[in-house]
């Protein structure tokens, strides 16, 4: 993080952090500390990072899962810091100082945003190191950074400040410096971390899709075999109607098959060891067994098709993801389904909360909501969708659930409103690049979520379709 950018961020933080009370301190990653603060007006989340490639300091809206047991340095900060008095840049260098108070008196938290040597250090009022995030022993080239040592400022590095200011600050001229820095580093973090995590999620989804397609073929084969069991019922009925003609010890009998019009002769195999009535019961038993198997196969067929539809949604959402929270919610859904191992399950609380759905207004001002993942889609279609509202989804393809809120204000949408919402549904779907897309439009009363089905799946009893151009309001 460059010095002039640090100065801008710190200047912006000076007023809101003055006398801010510390509500909580977290260490969600080995080199990241997160302060939750209350300044009497609002809650703030201050992020301090000593990561080599992404050392930074700024306010954030992001949340992380946190360890059950806080690491050593985090525990120390919790014990020593209850209030932040002030924040400032020290020594005209990339070092930020937080003047703090706690039960044991005053202390200073230094945030060295110096790239490879980035670190966080807690100093007492005399300038001695109480503890440090990354401890460094004696070496020829580096300072000693250990508890009990006197703190020494790092050697100041000279920069060409003429070329230092243009890279980081051009994201959004209307944003604050803190927002600009968060957006910049969030984008870097997502780009760096996406590939490995994205590949893992993609392989998990594809592997399960291949597995389910094989299962589907097997179920369909079994289902075809079971279709012949209805013939056993007919044979049982024919034998029962002609029971007086069956002689024990015979291995077959020829009867008129009255299930056909006109009736035709039919040879029915018999077990010579069984009595006539037992042969009848044998056919009916085969028929009942076949019907049970057919019912079971049909249920498995429907479950497998629904799971394939769900995985298709996840596959689309993964490809459409734009930030870490998107992929993390997909990962959480896979974990909940038992398809992805949680490597940190013994240490990390699953505190991931569903992110907020997206929202805009129609041309006439009606509220439109849509989801970017299955959790949001579930929220929209089961909790936000009320009587009188309209529901939209691209036909025969994965995509977002879109709801137009009209029921609570008892207003009928115009054709322009309906087409606008349908265009959003098409825009946030697998068919987003098509020129024209068919979108289902249904009233709320026709949309139902079957009990026990996967997130993001609903049944639509009645709907009409609109042919629209895909459109995304955020683009």
Give the model's pLDDT for residue 191. 52
Q: What is the C-alpha to C-alpha distance for residues 348 and 418, in angstroms, rounded to an integer?
A: 44
| Proportion of the chain above pLDDT 90, given as a percent | 59
278 and 375 assigned to the same domain: no
* The token pair that represents 325 in the structure block: 């929270």
Q: What is the C-alpha to C-alpha distance for residues 211 and 223, in angstroms, rounded to an integer?
A: 18
Q: What is the C-alpha to C-alpha distance for residues 85 and 53, in angstroms, rounded to an integer?
A: 29
List the single range of 67-76, 314-323, 394-403, 459-468 with lowest mean pLDDT.
314-323
Mean of per-residue pLDDT scores for the chain: 87
19 and 157 assigned to the same domain: yes
List the single range of 22-26, 108-112, 139-143, 284-288 with lowest mean pLDDT.
139-143
Residue 142 lies in a domain: yes
Residue 130 has pLDDT above 90, yes or no: yes
304 and 393 assigned to the same domain: no
Q: Name the helix (H) or strand (E) containing 46.
A: strand 43-49
Residue 170 has pLDDT above 80, yes or no: no
Peptide bond into 262 cis (omega under 30): yes
* Higher pLDDT, residue 411 or 189: 411
**Residues 336-359, buried b or exposed e (16+ Cβ, 10 A)?**
ebebbeeeeeeebeeebeebebbe
Maximum alpha-carbon separation in the chain: 112
pLDDT, one tens digit per residue, over 301-322 is: 989 999 999 999 999 998 888 7
Backbone angles phi, psi at 319, to 5 degrees: -65, -25
Confidence of residue 35 (pLDDT cuts 50, 70, 90): very high
Closest CA to 405 of 354, 370, 448: 370
Confidence of residue 452 (pLDDT cuts 50, 70, 90): confident
Residue 181 lies in a domain: no
Q: What is the C-alpha to C-alpha distance for residues 439 and 460, in angstroms, rounded to an integer?
A: 13
Bridge-based pairing state of the strands 119-123 and 129-132: antiparallel
- The answer to whether 390 touches 403, Cβ cutoff 8 Å, is yes
Residue 182 lies in a domain: no
* Final residue in a domain of this structure, among 136, 170, 204: 170
Range of the domain at 97: 3-170
* Higher pLDDT, residue 376 or 199: 376
Confidence of residue 160 (pLDDT cuts 50, 70, 90): very low
200 and 326 assigned to the same domain: yes
Strand runs labelled E in 304-353: none
Query: DSSP character for 410?
Result: T
Mean pLDDT to the nearest integer, 389-407: 95
340 and 363 assigned to the same domain: no
358: helix, strand or coil: strand
Query: DSSP character for 169?
Result: S
68 and 122 assigned to the same domain: yes
Residue 185 lies in a domain: no
340 and 392 assigned to the same domain: no
34 and 152 assigned to the same domain: yes
336 and 396 assigned to the same domain: no
Residue 180 has pLDDT above 80, yes or no: yes
Residue 460 CB-density burial (10 A; 0-12 exposed, 13-18 middle, 19+ buried): middle
Confidence of residue 345 (pLDDT cuts 50, 70, 90): very low
Backbone angles phi, psi at 448, to 5 degrees: -135, 145
Q: Which residues pair with 96 in a beta bridge?
A: 89, 111
Residue 334 has pLDDT above 50, yes or no: yes
* Final residue in a domain of this structure, among 348, 378, 402: 348
Give the model's pLDDT for residue 84. 97
Residue 14 lies in a domain: yes
Residue 140 has pLDDT above 60, yes or no: no
pLDDT, one tens digit per residue, over 75-117 is: 999 999 999 999 999 989 999 999 999 999 999 999 999 988 8
Residue 186 lies in a domain: no
* The token pair that represents 248 in the structure block: 């024990």
Residue 349 has pLDDT above 70, yes or no: no
Give the model's pLDDT for residue 188. 62
* The token pair that represents 154 in the structure block: 């790092």
- The answer to whether 461 touches 314, Cβ cutoff 8 Å, is no
Give the model's pLDDT for residue 141. 56
Residue 392 has pLDDT above 60, yes or no: yes
Residue 294 CB-density burial (10 A; 0-12 exposed, 13-18 middle, 19+ buried): middle
Residue 194 has pLDDT above 70, yes or no: no
Give the model's pLDDT for residue 164. 40
Q: What is the C-alpha to C-alpha distance for residues 327 and 340, in angstroms, rounded to an integer?
A: 13
* Final residue in a domain of this structure, among 294, 327, 348: 348
Residue 178 lies in a domain: no
List the single range of 334-338, 401-405, 419-423 with lowest mean pLDDT.
334-338
202 and 228 assigned to the same domain: yes
Residue 188 lies in a domain: no
Question: Rg (Cα) of the chain, in Å, rounded?
Answer: 34
CATH of the domain at 29: 2.30.310.10
Residue 348 has pLDDT above 50, yes or no: no
Residue 463 has pLDDT above 90, yes or no: yes
155 and 214 assigned to the same domain: no
Give the model's pLDDT for residue 187. 60
User: Which strands form 464-468's sheet, in the order they lie side by side?
Assistant: 358-361, 367-370, 402-405, 390-394, 437-443, 464-468
| Proportion of the chain above pLDDT 70, given as a percent | 89
Give the model's pLDDT for residue 67. 79
Number of domains in the chain: 3
* Higher pLDDT, residue 158 or 365: 365
> pTM for the whole thing?
0.53
Q: Name the helix (H) or strand (E) containing 286.
A: helix 276-319
Confidence of residue 157 (pLDDT cuts 50, 70, 90): low
DSSP 220-256: HHHHHHHTTHHHHHHHHHHHHHTGGGPPTT-SEEEEE
118 and 48 assigned to the same domain: yes
Mean pLDDT to the nearest integer, 257-262: 89
List the single range of 14-23, 32-41, 53-62 with lowest mean pLDDT.
53-62
């Amino acid at each position: 993080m460059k010095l002039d950018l640090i100065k801008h961020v710190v200047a912006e933080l000076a007023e809101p952090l003055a006398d801010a009370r510390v509500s909580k301190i977290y260490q969600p990653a080995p080199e990241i500390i997160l302060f939750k603060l209350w300044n009497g007006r609002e809650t703030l989340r201050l992020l301090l990072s000593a990561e080599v490639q992404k050392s930074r300091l700024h306010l954030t809206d992001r949340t992380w899962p946190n360890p059950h047991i806080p690491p050593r340095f985090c525990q120390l900060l919790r014990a020593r810091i209850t209030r932040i008095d002030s924040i400032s840049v020290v020594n005209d260098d990339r070092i930020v100082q937080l003047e703090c108070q706690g039960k044991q008196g005053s202390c200073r938290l230094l945030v060295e945003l110096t790239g490879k040597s980035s670190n966080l250090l807690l100093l007492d009022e005399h300038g001695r190191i109480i503890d440090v995030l990354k401890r460094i022993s004696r070496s020829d080239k580096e300072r000693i950074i250990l508890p009990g040592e006197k703190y020494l400022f790092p050697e100041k590095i000279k920069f060409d400040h003429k070329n230092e200011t243009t890279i980081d600050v051009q994201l959004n001229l209307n944003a604050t410096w803190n927002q600009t820095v968060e957006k910049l580093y969030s984008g870097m973090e997502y780009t760096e971390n996406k590939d490995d995590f994205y590949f893992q999620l993609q392989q998990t989804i594809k592997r399960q899709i291949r597995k389910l397609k094989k299962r589907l073929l097997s179920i369909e084969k079994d289902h075809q075999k079971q279709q012949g069991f209805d013939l056993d019922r007919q044979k049982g009925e024919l034998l029962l109607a002609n029971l007086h003609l069956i002689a024990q010890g015979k291995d077959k009998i020829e009867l008129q098959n009255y299930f056909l019009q006109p009736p035709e002769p039919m040879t029915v195999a018999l077990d010579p060891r069984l009595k006539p009535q037992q042969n009848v019961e044998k056919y009916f038993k085969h028929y009942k067994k076949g019907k049970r198997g057919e019912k079971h196969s049909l249920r498995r067929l429907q479950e497998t098709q629904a799971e394939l539809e769900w995985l298709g949604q996840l596959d689309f959402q993964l490809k459409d993801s734009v930030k870490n929270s998107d992929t993390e919610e997909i990962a959480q859904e896979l974990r909940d389904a038992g398809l992805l191992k949680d490597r940190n399950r013994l240490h990390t609380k699953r505190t991931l909360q569903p992110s907020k759905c997206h929202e805009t207004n129609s041309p006439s001002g009606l509220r439109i909501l849509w989801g970017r993942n299955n959790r949001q889609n579930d929220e929209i279609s089961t909790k936000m969708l009320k009587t009188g509202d309209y529901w939209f989804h691209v036909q025969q393809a994965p995509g977002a659930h879109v709801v137009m809120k009209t029921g609570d204000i008892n207003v009928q949408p115009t054709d322009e409103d309906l087409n606008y919402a349908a265009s959003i549904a098409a825009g946030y779907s697998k068919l987003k690049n098509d020129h024209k897309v068919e979108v289902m439009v249904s009233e709320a009363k026709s949309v139902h979520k079957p009990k026990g089905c996967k997130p993001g799946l609903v049944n639509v009893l009645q709907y009409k379709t609109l042919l629209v151009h895909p459109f995304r309001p955020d683009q």
